[in-house]
Amino acid sequence: MLNFIEGGVCAAQGFRAAGIHVGVKTHAAWKKDVALIVSDVDCAAAAVFTKNVVKAAPIHVDKAHLADGKARAIIANSGNANACAPHGEENAEKMCAAAAKAIGCKPEDVLVSSTGVIGQTINVQVIEEGVPALYAALERSNEASDAAAHAIMTTDTVKKEVAVETTVGGHTCRMGGIAKGSGMIHPNMGTMLCFLTTDCAISPEMIKTALLETVGVTFNRISVDGDTSTNDTCCVLANGLAGNETITAKGPDYDAFLEALRALCTALAKKMAADGEGAKHLITCTVSGAADEAAAETVAKSVISSTLTKAAIFGADANWGRVLCAMGYSGAAFDPEKVDVHFASAAGDIAVCEKGRGLDFDEALAKKILTEHDVEIRITMGEGNATCTCWGCDITYDYIKINGDYRT
Amino acid sequence: MLNFIEGGVCAAQGFRAAGIHVGVKTHAAWKKDVALIVSDVDCAAAAVFTKNVVKAAPIHVDKAHLADGKARAIIANSGNANACAPHGEENAEKMCAAAAKAIGCKPEDVLVSSTGVIGQTINVQVIEEGVPALYAALERSNEASDAAAHAIMTTDTVKKEVAVETTVGGHTCRMGGIAKGSGMIHPNMGTMLCFLTTDCAISPEMIKTALLETVGVTFNRISVDGDTSTNDTCCVLANGLAGNETITAKGPDYDAFLEALRALCTALAKKMAADGEGAKHLITCTVSGAADEAAAETVAKSVISSTLTKAAIFGADANWGRVLCAMGYSGAAFDPEKVDVHFASAAGDIAVCEKGRGLDFDEALAKKILTEHDVEIRITMGEGNATCTCWGCDITYDYIKINGDYRT
């Protein structure tokens, strides 16, 4: 029994959060820019990071801090990515040290993340000076999770916050997360900041396994603009306060945990895709009938990443030729003459291509379908039984506007 | 001695061209939509085609027609891609047959290309009916090459036409080309239509070798939007009328031919990138100090393909962090802490990143540099001695406008 609940990162027992403005974002004093998430007790912890060769300083620090598979807290800022910047690791360590001092734990038990402009020195002093107020603001409440979710936003237009409840070994376990991600989003791990908390008892090894399994089929299946960021981080803290027998191997308990984690991350990933910079549509591409899951994923990713397909959806134009074109250059092997394509949404479902050839279809209905916010591209490949779903968004004038002048 | 000259595909001896409106483009009767290029005598011929799994019908036909390495003519239309459309190959063969009948050659000696909307049946009847007028319009003149160049344009805003003159084995050889390409442009062969003619005498084997060598370092090094089209074709006809001893092996004559072919294709490729849909800037990315040429090319292609970098150039924003980010996810291995980045143009040259760290630079000068039409991103990797240049364009409101509603 899996239920979506309120509370975000504060849904699980023993987690508190806060988000305040300290001054990293200089141009908008009303915008929160530092978040803190703290567990009452030590947690098993795991994280996955960007595969970009150019990695932000916090990622190097987090890798070292996670060597023992444990953590207590996460401190994160928006407004500056602390990537390719002078004194990057030194400043990331200072953020951990400031948080550790307030919490009363070791700096090595604090994880750190940053997001924002690349290449400028982070104003670590305002963060250090702000930590006491940040610590004082910690609460276990919906409002506190909301504040933390807002404090990690950059060009995001809505906060991304989800929580679920499930049963593991007869105990109610809760799991919640906040995420940010709007530009520089592309499926190759991470693609964002995402902080997950759970009160489920699970070993460091198994939580790492579960996180890797989940990220591959959730966050790695979204794309906004094909740019894989330098800062992508997804980390999870599990404090064990749910009281279940600690999960130390695969089995029914692990499966229940994994199911909840996947539901949580899928929901956050879709929120991220839907809030792609300037986006007006969430595009879901479902490929079925593929030879294997890898081929299905390759094709679906190519379609949601195609700039021309994204522009067509922006224009509510049922230009399925671009879908076939994107399938064709994806790298997957297939016979185009077996491909069927449908466009669908709450307004209906229309077949536009059968066996690789265009169908005569009702253009007015197609336009109506594609005018909905959530649109679906359904592809049947006729090669086998594998399936995969990926999520993206359209490209709009606003994407260009936002990114033509992001720094100033 | 290599000189750029006038004449496009009519620069070489024995080549005539024409471009007229026959009615494939129904919405604009003043727009030319069919082109014909004919050699007075048989030619050694070679072509490279899109690597997209979904290939337009003309490509299948051309592969068959090129089996003997010879051709006399090329017929091409805009307004319809003849891809994923009913009776595609049959209709492509009909275009060849109509041209062959007028010319008085075998249909197998005619090559065919199409560009335009995917998935709609091509109106082959208007083409067949128009061929006599098209044939009657054939001329060897600047105006005739210009007409052919216009007849293959879709969303292109300017025609792409170049010709060069060189000396091969003591004989003056000419070589010219026309090309189209504005959207669905991405480096993976072809990426456009390009028709090249030369009077140089060269064997079918060597012209194929030369074409493959050249396409890899010219057209495959440009990108507009990351979408590799279903129709990309680059073909060359060599009729031997220059009177040089036929090139049948590598050597000084082949080198002279290759140098001219590369100069021709580089010039056409840059025109294509500069006329990317909606583009306001030609972006040249030169990577030097790479471990090997493949790494240099991987990095340069990633930078010119990065949507965020393209948006930054549109905004004349010296956001070099996006350049480093795109290098980092390119797949090339390198040490970010050895990377230097400059922005340059006719307005100046400014260092913005040294050893992977941001420099304090004059933002006003940077803005001035990036406001020029032709801007350059110069990257030094500090890994070795290899270098590579790739070309792209910025992404603008107009790209979205053009592609949000291309079919209607």
Q: What's the whole-model pTM score?
A: 0.79
Measured CA to CA, the distance from residue A345 to residue A375 in angstroms comes to 5
Which residue from B55, B9, B89, B73 is spatially nearest to A335, judged by alpha carbons?
Answer: B55
Tokens of A278: 């300037």
Q: Where are the alpha helices (DSSP H) in A317-372?
A: 320-328, 363-371
Angle between helices B204-217 and B252-274 (to 10 degrees): 40
Q: Indicate yes or no: CB of B314 within 8 angstroms of CB of A83.
A: no
Q: State whether residue A27 sits within 8 Å of chain B by CB.
A: no
- To the query of whether residue B191 is one of the catalytic residues in this protein, the response is yes
Superfamily of domain B282-404, CATH level 4: ArgJ beta chain, C-terminal domain (3.10.20.340)
CA distance B353 to chain A (A): 8
Measured CA to CA, the distance from residue B218 to residue B209 in angstroms comes to 15
Measured CA to CA, the distance from residue A288 to residue B223 in angstroms comes to 30
Tokens of B144: 């005739």
Q: Indicate yes or no: CB of B84 within 8 angstroms of CB of A53.
A: no
Measured CA to CA, the distance from residue B174 to residue B241 in angstroms comes to 10
- The answer for residues whose C-beta is within 8 angstroms of residue A376's C-beta and 6 or more apart is A283, A284, A285, A286, A342, A343, A344, A345
**Which residue out of A191, A214, A230, A309 is catalytically annotated?**
A191
Can you give the pLDDT of all 408 residues of chain B as single tens digits?
799 999 999 999 999 999 999 999 887 777 999 999 999 999 999 998 887 788 889 999 999 999 999 999 999 999 998 988 889 999 999 999 999 999 999 999 999 999 988 888 999 999 999 999 999 999 999 999 999 999 998 878 888 899 999 999 999 999 999 988 765 555 433 347 888 999 999 999 999 999 999 988 888 888 766 566 777 788 899 999 999 999 999 999 999 999 999 999 998 888 888 887 788 999 999 999 999 999 999 999 999 988 889 989 999 999 898 899 889 888 899 999 999 999 999 999 999 999 998 899 999 999 999 999 999 999 999 999 999 999 999 888 887 777 776 554
CA distance A358 to chain B (A): 5
Under CATH, to which class is B3-274 assigned? alpha beta
Q: Indicate yes or no: CB of B400 within 8 angstroms of CB of A311.
A: yes
Q: State whether residue B293 sits within 8 Å of chain A by CB.
A: no
Chain A to chain B, count of Cβ pairs less than 8 Å apart?
205
Whole-Å CA distances, A301 to A172, A218, A226, A327, A380: 35, 12, 10, 9, 15
Q: Which residue of B has its CA nearest to A228?
A: B329
Q: Which of A230, A325, A396 sits opposite B328 (nearest CB)?
A: A230
Contacts of B87 in chain A (CB under 8 A): none
Interface of B with A in 311-350 (CB under 8 A): 311-312, 314-315, 317, 319-322, 324-330, 332-334, 336
**Which residue out of B155, B191, B209, B389 is catalytically annotated?**
B191
Burial of A87 (0-12, 13-18, 19+ CB in 10 A): middle
DSSP for A28-42 reads: -TTS--EEEEEEEEE
Contacts of A408 in chain B (CB under 8 A): 317
Tokens of B124: 């082959």
Contacts of A86 in chain B (CB under 8 A): 357-358
Q: State whether residue A291 sits within 8 Å of chain B by CB.
A: no
- Three-state DSSP state, A391: strand
pLDDT digits over B8-30, tens only? Answer: 999 999 999 999 999 998 877 77
Which residue from A304, A321, A369, A382 is spatially nearest to A343, judged by alpha carbons?
Answer: A369
Q: Write down the domain spans for chain A.
A: 3-274, 282-404
Q: State whether residue B4 sits within 8 Å of chain A by CB.
A: no
Residue A231's Cα: distance from chain center in Å?
12
The torsion defined by the Cα of B401, B402, B405 and B408, in degrees rounded to 10, comes to: 140
Q: State whether residue A379 sits within 8 Å of chain B by CB.
A: no
pLDDT digits over B266-325, tens only? Answer: 988 888 888 877 889 999 999 999 999 999 999 999 999 888 899 899 999 998 988 998
